[in-house]
């Protein structure tokens, strides 16, 4: 009988990196292996989530702690592992992962189901692509309910919904148009949406967000207004003036700041229930100006600004800030209150959390396509807090 080395699995740096989703070479290493062994993909992905919950539940927990915890859980189930055939190192790791995940998953679920008042058997599904489009004439269109194709034609601007669920504006300057007309797209709790603006710029709206924009931008500038969280990829536009070619700036307005852009990728988090406005720059350069005191700073790629009463610049954890655009939650030493605010918006649930528990910090990676219980399990496995789901309300207790 060959004993699987569970400790080696949890100490395998490349596998841990694969669970985290970075660096790219370790992710590619595992993905390439899965391409050659496609029959294991579904099981491996499921077990990867289990290992993430076990491995990244607290910054102070060591690999040894995880190993001892896992051995204890397996011992309780009195399971025996029998591997009487020889397998390659990669297949051995995959087999180990399947066994670990299967046992730990059964243990976790049994522990939760043994307390009927814990999750109440409620199933809260994740958010999806849905939004409300308000046209220039005040009429509204529920984007998740309409069919693919042309939705509206307003003064030379065609609004279309694509097969992938995106909204695209096409401008025909040859047609008469109302230069002052504008549209607004609004995502509810549990919603997100992507669109291409009339100038070709792209915007991704997270849950509980709005974006207000004109159907025709001015010749000297482009300006939009937003609330919530939006990721932008701004199209470069130029004009010829006094014999020189100049870029047409793009401005993003929030409640307390203005961002001037020439052509770049960046994320803006301006939810009113967050401590401040966070602007994260991925590419290009942006100038952030506070409307509270006129303070202005220039961001470089990899930097972010935080605006509360003053503007503060720091190095950004870009992956964490824009993980939502790739369909993930990434928590790195993040307070429970911050995690639960994101959970509330994406799963459309209410939160009740005592202040002392809200200060607890957690690490983890969870797909936004997973049900709410995936995040609840991640928190509960640490033993630091208990989460009860009653209808659409999460109650956090000691």
* Tally of CA atoms within 13 A in the half-sphere of 69 that contains its CB: 18
Ranges for all domains in the chain classified under CATH 3.55.50.30: 327-397
For residue 59, is pLDDT > 50?
Answer: no
Reference 353, options 383, 386, 331; nearest CA is 386
Ranges for all domains in the chain classified under CATH 2.60.120.1440: 128-321
> Model confidence at 152, in pLDDT bands (50, 70, 90)?
confident
What secondary structure letter does DSSP report for 325? G
How far apart CA 398 and CA 396 sit, in angstroms, is 7
For residue 278, is pLDDT > 50?
Answer: yes
What pLDDT score was predicted for residue 101? Answer: 40
Q: The tokens of 211 are what? A: 């974006």
User: Which is more confidently placed, 218 or 106?
Assistant: 218
For the packed helices 89-113 and 372-380, what is the interaxial angle rounded to 10 degrees?
90
How far apart CA 223 and CA 253 sit, in angstroms, is 8
What secondary structure letter does DSSP report for 239? E
Provide mean pLDDT across the span 2-19. 56
How far apart CA 151 and CA 134 sit, in angstroms, is 12
For the packed helices 63-77 and 89-113, what is the interaxial angle rounded to 10 degrees?
70
Provide mean pLDDT across the span 293-322. 92
> Model confidence at 246, in pLDDT bands (50, 70, 90)?
confident
What pLDDT score was predicted for residue 173? Answer: 57
Provide mean pLDDT across the span 87-101. 38
The residue behind tokens 């950004």 is 316
User: Which is more confidently placed, 179 or 290?
Assistant: 290
Provide mean pLDDT across the span 286-304. 93
Calculate what percentage of the chain has a pLDDT beyond 90: 45
What pLDDT score was predicted for residue 239? Answer: 79
> Model confidence at 41, in pLDDT bands (50, 70, 90)?
confident
The residue behind tokens 């669920």 is 165
What confidence tens digit (pLDDT) does each residue in 310-367 have? 999 999 999 889 999 988 998 988 999 999 999 999 999 999 999 999 999 988 888 8
What pLDDT score was predicted for residue 128? Answer: 93
What pLDDT score was predicted for residue 100? Answer: 40
For residue 81, is pLDDT > 60?
Answer: no
For residue 364, what are the β-bridge partners? 331
For residue 3, is pLDDT > 90?
Answer: no
Q: How far is CA 194 from the centre of its chain?
A: 14
The residue behind tokens 């062994």 is 37
What pLDDT score was predicted for residue 336? Answer: 95
What confidence tens digit (pLDDT) does each residue in 208-239 have? 999 999 998 888 899 999 999 999 999 988 87
3-class secondary structure, 100: helix
How far apart CA 337 and CA 302 sit, in angstroms, is 25
Per the CB < 8 A criterion, the answer to whether 350 and 372 are in contact is no
For residue 97, is pLDDT > 70?
Answer: no
Q: What is the mean pLDDT of the chain?
A: 78
What pLDDT score was predicted for residue 122? Answer: 61
Say which CATH architecture domain 327-397 belongs to.
3-Layer(bab) Sandwich (3.55)
For residue 11, is pLDDT > 90?
Answer: no
The domain 128-321 having CATH identifier 2.60.120.1440: the answer here is yes
pTM: 0.70
How far apart CA 134 and CA 183 sit, in angstroms, is 6
């Amino acid at each position: 009988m060959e004993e699987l080395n569970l400790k080696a699995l949890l100490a395998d740096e490349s596998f841990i990196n694969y669970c985290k989703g970075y660096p790219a070479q370790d992710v590619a290493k595992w993905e390439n292996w899965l391409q050659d062994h496609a029959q294991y993909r579904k099981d491996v992905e499921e077990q990867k989530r289990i290992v993430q919950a076990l491995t990244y539940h607290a910054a102070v927990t060591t690999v040894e702690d995880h190993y001892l915890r896992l051995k204890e859980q397996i011992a309780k189930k009195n399971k025996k592992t029998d591997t009487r055939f020889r397998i390659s190192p990669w297949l051995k790791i995959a087999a180990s992962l399947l066994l670990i995940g299967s046992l730990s998953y059964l243990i976790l679920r049994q522990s939760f189901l043994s307390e009927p008042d814990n999750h109440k058997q409620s199933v809260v599904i994740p958010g999806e692509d849905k939004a409300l489009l308000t046209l220039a004439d005040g009429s509204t269109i529920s984007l998740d309910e309409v069919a693919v194709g042309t939705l509206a034609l307003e003064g030379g601007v065609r609004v279309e919904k694509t097969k992938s669920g995106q909204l695209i504006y096409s401008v025909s300057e040859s047609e008469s148009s109302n230069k002052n007309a504008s549209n607004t797209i609004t995502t509810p709790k549990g919603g997100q949406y992507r669109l291409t603006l009339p100038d070709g710029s792209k915007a991704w709206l997270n849950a509980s967000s709005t974006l207000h924009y004109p159907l025709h931008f001015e010749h000297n500038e482009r300006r939009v207004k937003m609330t919530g969280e939006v990721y932008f990829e701004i199209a470069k536009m130029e004009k010829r003036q006094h014999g020189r070619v100049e870029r047409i700036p793009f401005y993003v307005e929030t409640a307390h700041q203005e961002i001037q852009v020439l052509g770049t990728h960046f994320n803006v988090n301006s939810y009113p229930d967050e401590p401040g406005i966070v602007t994260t720059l991925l590419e290009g350069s942006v100038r952030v100006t506070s409307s509270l005191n006129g303070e202005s700073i220039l961001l470089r790629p990899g930097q972010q600004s935080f605006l509360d009463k003053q503007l503060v610049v720091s190095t950004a954890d870009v992956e964490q800030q824009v993980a939502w655009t790739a369909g993930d939650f990434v928590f790195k030493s993040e307070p429970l209150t911050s995690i639960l605010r994101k959970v509330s918006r994406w799963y459309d649930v209410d939160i009740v959390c005592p202040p002392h528990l809200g200060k607890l910090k957690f690490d983890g990676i969870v797909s936004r396509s997973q049900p709410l219980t995936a995040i609840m399990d991640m928190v509960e496995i640490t033993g630091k807090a208990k989460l009860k789901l009653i209808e659409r309300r999460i109650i956090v207790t000691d």
